[in-house]
Protein backbone atom coordinates (compact mmCIF):
# COMPACT_ATOMS: atom_id res chain seq x y z
CA UNK A 1 0.00 0.00 0.00
CA UNK A 2 1.30 3.42 -0.99
CA UNK A 3 0.84 6.51 1.19
CA UNK A 4 1.74 9.84 -0.41
CA UNK A 5 2.86 12.38 2.19
CA UNK A 6 2.99 16.01 1.03
CA UNK A 7 4.92 18.26 3.41
CA UNK A 8 6.21 21.83 3.57
CA UNK A 9 9.53 21.52 1.75
CA UNK A 10 12.80 23.05 2.92
CA UNK A 11 11.27 23.52 6.36
CA UNK A 12 12.38 21.73 9.53
CA UNK A 13 8.83 21.63 10.90
CA UNK A 14 7.55 20.28 7.58
CA UNK A 15 10.09 17.45 7.52
CA UNK A 16 9.62 16.71 11.21
CA UNK A 17 5.83 16.61 10.75
CA UNK A 18 6.23 14.10 7.92
CA UNK A 19 8.53 11.98 10.09
CA UNK A 20 6.08 11.95 13.01
CA UNK A 21 3.14 11.22 10.70
CA UNK A 22 5.00 8.28 9.12
CA UNK A 23 5.85 6.70 12.46
CA UNK A 24 2.33 7.31 13.75
CA UNK A 25 0.75 5.79 10.65
CA UNK A 26 2.95 2.70 10.68
CA UNK A 27 2.45 2.08 14.42
CA UNK A 28 -1.25 2.91 14.76
CA UNK A 29 -2.87 2.61 11.30
CA UNK A 30 -1.07 0.08 9.10
CA UNK A 31 2.38 -1.51 9.03
CA UNK A 32 2.69 -2.86 5.47
CA UNK A 33 2.96 0.54 3.80
CA UNK A 34 5.31 2.38 1.45
CA UNK A 35 5.68 6.08 2.16
CA UNK A 36 6.38 8.42 -0.76
CA UNK A 37 7.26 12.00 0.15
CA UNK A 38 6.67 15.13 -1.89
CA UNK A 39 7.96 18.53 -0.80
CA UNK A 40 5.55 21.40 -1.42
CA UNK A 41 6.52 25.06 -1.75
CA UNK A 42 4.24 28.04 -1.76
CA UNK A 43 3.88 29.34 -5.30
CA UNK A 44 1.85 32.01 -7.01
CA UNK A 45 -0.07 29.21 -8.76
CA UNK A 46 -2.19 26.36 -7.36
CA UNK A 47 0.25 24.05 -5.48
CA UNK A 48 -1.73 20.82 -5.93
CA UNK A 49 -1.85 20.61 -9.71
CA UNK A 50 -0.54 17.70 -11.76
CA UNK A 51 -1.76 14.55 -10.05
CA UNK A 52 -0.10 15.16 -6.69
CA UNK A 53 -2.40 12.74 -4.85
CA UNK A 54 -1.30 9.45 -6.38
CA UNK A 55 -1.28 7.23 -3.30
CA UNK A 56 -3.76 4.70 -1.97
CA UNK A 57 -3.98 7.22 0.85
CA UNK A 58 -2.77 10.82 0.64
CA UNK A 59 -1.66 13.13 3.44
CA UNK A 60 -0.70 16.80 3.76
CA UNK A 61 1.27 17.98 6.79
CA UNK A 62 2.32 21.54 7.61
CA UNK A 63 0.90 22.87 4.35
CA UNK A 64 -2.27 24.35 2.90
CA UNK A 65 -5.51 22.41 2.69
CA UNK A 66 -6.78 20.77 -0.48
CA UNK A 67 -10.49 20.00 -1.03
CA UNK A 68 -9.58 17.07 -3.27
CA UNK A 69 -11.64 13.95 -2.49
CA UNK A 70 -8.36 12.03 -2.80
CA UNK A 71 -6.95 13.73 0.30
CA UNK A 72 -7.17 11.35 3.28
CA UNK A 73 -5.18 13.03 6.08
CA UNK A 74 -4.42 16.69 6.83
CA UNK A 75 -2.62 18.43 9.70
CA UNK A 76 -1.78 22.14 9.72
CA UNK A 77 -1.31 25.09 12.06
CA UNK A 78 -0.93 28.10 9.71
CA UNK A 79 -3.40 30.95 9.95
CA UNK A 80 -3.47 31.06 6.13
CA UNK A 81 -4.26 27.38 5.71
CA UNK A 82 -7.02 27.77 3.13
CA UNK A 83 -6.53 29.13 -0.39
CA UNK A 84 -10.23 30.00 -0.75
CA UNK A 85 -13.26 30.31 1.55
CA UNK A 86 -14.74 27.27 -0.21
CA UNK A 87 -11.75 25.22 0.95
CA UNK A 88 -12.42 26.17 4.57
CA UNK A 89 -16.06 25.20 4.11
CA UNK A 90 -14.99 21.87 2.63
CA UNK A 91 -12.80 21.21 5.67
CA UNK A 92 -15.58 22.08 8.12
CA UNK A 93 -17.93 19.71 6.30
CA UNK A 94 -15.47 16.80 6.50
CA UNK A 95 -16.41 14.06 8.97
CA UNK A 96 -13.63 11.59 8.24
CA UNK A 97 -11.93 12.22 11.58
CA UNK A 98 -8.59 12.41 9.77
CA UNK A 99 -8.23 16.14 9.04
CA UNK A 100 -7.08 18.47 11.79
CA UNK A 101 -6.34 22.17 12.10
CA UNK A 102 -5.29 24.39 15.00
CA UNK A 103 -3.46 27.70 14.38
CA UNK A 104 -2.72 28.15 18.10
CA UNK A 105 0.13 25.61 17.93
CA UNK A 106 3.64 26.95 17.32
CA UNK A 107 4.61 23.91 15.25
CA UNK A 108 2.72 21.38 13.18
CA UNK A 109 4.97 18.65 14.61
CA UNK A 110 3.75 19.30 18.16
CA UNK A 111 0.15 19.59 16.95
CA UNK A 112 0.31 16.34 14.97
CA UNK A 113 1.93 14.37 17.77
CA UNK A 114 -0.64 15.66 20.26
CA UNK A 115 -3.60 14.76 18.04
CA UNK A 116 -2.13 11.36 17.18
CA UNK A 117 -1.73 10.61 20.87
CA UNK A 118 -5.16 11.84 21.96
CA UNK A 119 -7.18 10.48 19.03
CA UNK A 120 -5.28 7.34 18.02
CA UNK A 121 -3.24 6.27 21.05
CA UNK A 122 0.15 7.04 19.47
CA UNK A 123 3.13 7.06 21.85
CA UNK A 124 5.29 9.98 20.73
CA UNK A 125 7.83 9.70 23.55
CA UNK A 126 10.54 8.09 21.36
CA UNK A 127 10.37 11.23 19.18
CA UNK A 128 10.52 13.71 22.07
CA UNK A 129 13.78 15.30 20.89
CA UNK A 130 12.43 15.85 17.38
CA UNK A 131 9.12 17.28 18.61
CA UNK A 132 10.80 19.60 21.11
CA UNK A 133 13.18 21.07 18.56
CA UNK A 134 10.54 21.45 15.87
CA UNK A 135 8.55 23.52 18.37
CA UNK A 136 11.59 25.61 19.28
CA UNK A 137 12.63 26.24 15.67
CA UNK A 138 9.23 26.85 14.10
CA UNK A 139 7.99 28.81 17.12
CA UNK A 140 11.21 30.86 17.36
CA UNK A 141 11.50 29.94 21.03
CA UNK A 142 15.25 30.49 21.36
CA UNK A 143 16.67 32.10 24.47
CA UNK A 144 18.48 34.76 22.41
CA UNK A 145 19.32 35.79 18.81
CA UNK A 146 22.82 34.43 19.39
CA UNK A 147 21.41 30.99 20.19
CA UNK A 148 19.39 31.04 16.98
CA UNK A 149 22.31 32.10 14.79
CA UNK A 150 25.26 30.23 16.31
CA UNK A 151 23.97 26.83 15.03
CA UNK A 152 25.82 24.95 17.77
CA UNK A 153 23.05 22.44 18.44
CA UNK A 154 22.80 19.33 16.20
CA UNK A 155 19.13 20.11 15.55
CA UNK A 156 20.03 23.56 14.23
CA UNK A 157 22.70 22.10 11.94
CA UNK A 158 20.20 19.61 10.55
CA UNK A 159 17.70 22.44 10.07
CA UNK A 160 20.36 24.30 8.08
CA UNK A 161 20.74 21.35 5.71
CA UNK A 162 16.97 20.87 5.37
CA UNK A 163 16.27 24.54 4.68
CA UNK A 164 19.03 24.74 2.06
CA UNK A 165 18.31 21.30 0.53
CA UNK A 166 21.34 21.56 -1.79
CA UNK A 167 20.47 18.44 -3.80
CA UNK A 168 17.20 17.17 -5.30
CA UNK A 169 15.04 14.99 -3.06
CA UNK A 170 17.38 15.47 -0.10
CA UNK A 171 14.61 16.13 2.42
CA UNK A 172 12.52 13.08 1.42
CA UNK A 173 15.65 11.00 2.02
CA UNK A 174 16.01 12.44 5.52
CA UNK A 175 12.42 12.08 6.70
CA UNK A 176 12.62 8.30 7.41
CA UNK A 177 15.88 8.91 9.28
CA UNK A 178 14.24 11.63 11.39
CA UNK A 179 11.54 9.13 12.35
CA UNK A 180 14.04 6.70 13.80
CA UNK A 181 17.43 8.29 14.54
CA UNK A 182 18.83 10.98 16.85
CA UNK A 183 20.09 14.27 15.41
CA UNK A 184 23.67 13.31 16.22
CA UNK A 185 23.28 10.09 14.21
CA UNK A 186 21.66 11.86 11.26
CA UNK A 187 24.48 14.41 11.05
CA UNK A 188 26.93 11.53 10.50
CA UNK A 189 25.06 10.21 7.47
CA UNK A 190 27.03 10.91 4.24
CA UNK A 191 24.02 12.61 2.64
CA UNK A 192 24.16 15.20 5.45
CA UNK A 193 27.85 15.23 6.28
CA UNK A 194 28.81 16.05 2.68
CA UNK A 195 26.77 19.25 2.75
CA UNK A 196 27.11 20.49 6.32
CA UNK A 197 30.56 22.12 6.24
CA UNK A 198 29.91 24.13 3.02
CA UNK A 199 26.52 25.22 4.35
CA UNK A 200 28.00 26.37 7.66
CA UNK A 201 30.53 28.45 5.70
CA UNK A 202 27.71 29.86 3.57
CA UNK A 203 25.84 30.72 6.76
CA UNK A 204 28.83 32.62 8.12
CA UNK A 205 29.14 34.57 4.86
CA UNK A 206 25.43 35.34 4.82
CA UNK A 207 25.78 37.18 8.13
CA UNK A 208 28.26 39.53 6.48
CA UNK A 209 26.09 39.92 3.37
CA UNK A 210 23.00 40.83 5.37
CA UNK A 211 25.03 43.22 7.49
CA UNK A 212 25.91 45.09 4.28
CA UNK A 213 22.47 44.90 2.66
CA UNK A 214 20.21 45.74 5.61
CA UNK A 215 18.46 49.10 5.76
CA UNK A 216 17.24 49.53 9.34
CA UNK A 217 14.93 52.49 9.94
CA UNK A 218 11.89 53.25 12.10
CA UNK A 219 11.81 49.83 13.73
CA UNK A 220 11.84 47.91 10.42
CA UNK A 221 14.72 45.94 8.90
CA UNK A 222 14.59 45.76 5.11
CA UNK A 223 16.96 43.95 2.74
CA UNK A 224 17.05 42.72 -0.84
CA UNK A 225 19.23 39.71 -1.69
CA UNK A 226 17.29 38.72 -4.81
CA UNK A 227 20.47 38.98 -6.90
CA UNK A 228 22.16 36.29 -4.81
CA UNK A 229 21.46 32.58 -4.23
CA UNK A 230 20.51 33.19 -0.63
CA UNK A 231 16.86 32.18 -0.25
CA UNK A 232 17.66 29.78 2.60
CA UNK A 233 19.30 32.37 4.85
CA UNK A 234 18.83 32.07 8.61
CA UNK A 235 15.78 34.26 9.36
CA UNK A 236 17.13 35.25 12.78
CA UNK A 237 20.27 36.96 11.46
CA UNK A 238 18.53 40.36 11.08
CA UNK A 239 17.59 40.37 14.78
CA UNK A 240 21.09 39.24 15.72
CA UNK A 241 22.46 42.27 13.85
CA UNK A 242 19.73 44.68 15.01
CA UNK A 243 18.27 43.31 18.27
CA UNK A 244 16.26 46.46 19.03
CA UNK A 245 14.23 46.37 15.80
CA UNK A 246 10.78 44.80 15.73
CA UNK A 247 10.06 43.82 12.10
CA UNK A 248 12.00 42.44 9.17
CA UNK A 249 11.07 42.41 5.47
CA UNK A 250 13.35 40.51 3.12
CA UNK A 251 13.30 39.91 -0.63
CA UNK A 252 14.98 36.82 -2.09
CA UNK A 253 14.76 34.84 -5.32
CA UNK A 254 15.31 31.33 -6.62
CA UNK A 255 14.57 29.53 -9.90
CA UNK A 256 11.18 28.52 -8.43
CA UNK A 257 9.96 31.87 -7.12
CA UNK A 258 10.55 35.39 -5.89
CA UNK A 259 9.83 35.52 -2.16
CA UNK A 260 8.96 38.25 0.29
CA UNK A 261 9.57 37.17 3.90
CA UNK A 262 8.05 39.18 6.74
CA UNK A 263 8.79 38.55 10.39
CA UNK A 264 8.63 39.85 13.94
CA UNK A 265 11.50 39.89 16.40
CA UNK A 266 10.75 36.90 18.69
CA UNK A 267 12.45 38.65 21.60
CA UNK A 268 10.23 41.74 21.41
CA UNK A 269 6.63 42.38 22.34
CA UNK A 270 4.48 43.01 19.27
CA UNK A 271 1.40 45.24 18.85
CA UNK A 272 -1.83 43.25 18.90
CA UNK A 273 -3.19 45.14 15.89
CA UNK A 274 -0.44 43.95 13.50
CA UNK A 275 -1.09 40.54 11.93
CA UNK A 276 1.57 39.67 9.36
CA UNK A 277 -0.43 36.80 7.87
CA UNK A 278 -3.36 39.14 7.19
CA UNK A 279 -0.98 41.73 5.75
CA UNK A 280 0.61 39.20 3.38
CA UNK A 281 -2.76 37.74 2.37
CA UNK A 282 -3.48 41.04 0.61
CA UNK A 283 -0.69 40.12 -1.80
CA UNK A 284 -1.61 36.44 -2.14
CA UNK A 285 0.61 35.17 0.66
CA UNK A 286 0.03 34.20 4.29
CA UNK A 287 1.45 32.36 7.26
CA UNK A 288 1.22 33.23 10.94
CA UNK A 289 0.44 36.41 12.87
CA UNK A 290 4.12 37.01 13.65
CA UNK A 291 5.80 35.50 10.58
CA UNK A 292 4.50 35.27 7.03
CA UNK A 293 5.58 35.28 3.39
CA UNK A 294 4.47 35.85 -0.19
CA UNK A 295 5.57 33.83 -3.20
CA UNK A 296 5.61 35.33 -6.68
CA UNK A 297 6.44 33.75 -10.01
CA UNK A 298 10.20 33.78 -10.67
CA UNK A 299 9.76 36.32 -13.48
CA UNK A 300 7.70 38.63 -11.29
CA UNK A 301 10.56 40.05 -9.23
CA UNK A 302 9.55 43.67 -9.83
CA UNK A 303 6.10 43.10 -8.34
CA UNK A 304 7.64 41.20 -5.43
CA UNK A 305 10.01 44.10 -4.75
CA UNK A 306 7.12 46.57 -4.86
CA UNK A 307 5.15 44.44 -2.37
CA UNK A 308 8.17 44.23 -0.06
CA UNK A 309 8.64 48.00 -0.11
CA UNK A 310 4.94 48.61 0.52
CA UNK A 311 4.85 46.19 3.46
CA UNK A 312 7.97 47.76 4.97
CA UNK A 313 6.35 51.19 4.66
CA UNK A 314 3.15 49.91 6.28
CA UNK A 315 5.05 48.44 9.22
CA UNK A 316 7.05 51.65 9.69
CA UNK A 317 3.78 53.57 10.01
CA UNK A 318 2.75 51.25 12.82
CA UNK A 319 5.97 52.18 14.62
CA UNK A 320 5.30 55.92 14.46
At 297, which CATH number?
A: 3.10.310.30
pLDDT-derived band at 43 (thresholds 50, 70, 90) equals low
- Structural domain span for residue 29: 2-187
Domain membership flag for residue 206: no
Q: First-to-last CA distance in the chain?
A: 58
Does 222 share its domain with 151? no
Please count the structural domains in the chain.
2
163 Cβ contact list (under 8 Å, min separation 6): 10, 11, 12, 232
Rounded Cα gap, residues 187 and 252, in angstroms:
28
Q: Per DSSP, what are the bridge partners of residue 47? A: none
Does 29 share its domain with 168? yes
Q: What percent of the chain has pLDDT over 90?
A: 87
pLDDT at 275 exceeding the cut of 90: yes
Supply the CATH number for residue 171's domain.
3.90.1640
Rounded Cα gap, residues 129 and 182, in angstroms:
8
Domain membership flag for residue 203: no
Does 112 share its domain with 160? yes
Indicate the average pLDDT of the chain. Answer: 94
Domain membership flag for residue 196: no
Question: What is the rounded average pLDDT of the residues 279-283?
Answer: 94
pLDDT at 229 exceeding the cut of 90: no
Does 151 share its domain with 29? yes
Does 23 share its domain with 65? yes
Does 261 share its domain with 182? no
pLDDT at 198 exceeding the cut of 90: yes
pLDDT at 9 exceeding the cut of 80: yes
Does 60 share its domain with 142? yes
Q: Between β-strands 2-8 and 215-217, what pairing exists: parallel, antiparallel or unpaired? A: unpaired
- Predicted model pTM: 0.90
pLDDT at 320 exceeding the cut of 60: no
Cβ–Cβ < 8 Å for 53, 36: no
The pLDDT of residue 45 is 55
Does 301 share its domain with 174? no
Cβ–Cβ < 8 Å for 247, 219: yes
pLDDT at 23 exceeding the cut of 60: yes
Selected residue with higher pLDDT from 138 and 42: 138
pLDDT-derived band at 21 (thresholds 50, 70, 90) equals very high
The pLDDT of residue 127 is 98
Does 18 share its domain with 116? yes
Amino acid sequence: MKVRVCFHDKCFDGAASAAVFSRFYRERIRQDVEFCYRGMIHRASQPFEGGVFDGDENAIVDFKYSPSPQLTWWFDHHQSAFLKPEDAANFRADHSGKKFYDPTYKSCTKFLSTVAGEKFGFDARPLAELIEWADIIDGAQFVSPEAAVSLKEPAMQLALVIEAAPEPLLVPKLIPEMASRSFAEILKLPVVENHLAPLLERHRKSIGILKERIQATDGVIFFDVSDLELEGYNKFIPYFLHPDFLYTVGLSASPARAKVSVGTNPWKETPADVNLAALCEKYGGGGHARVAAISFAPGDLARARQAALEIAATLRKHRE
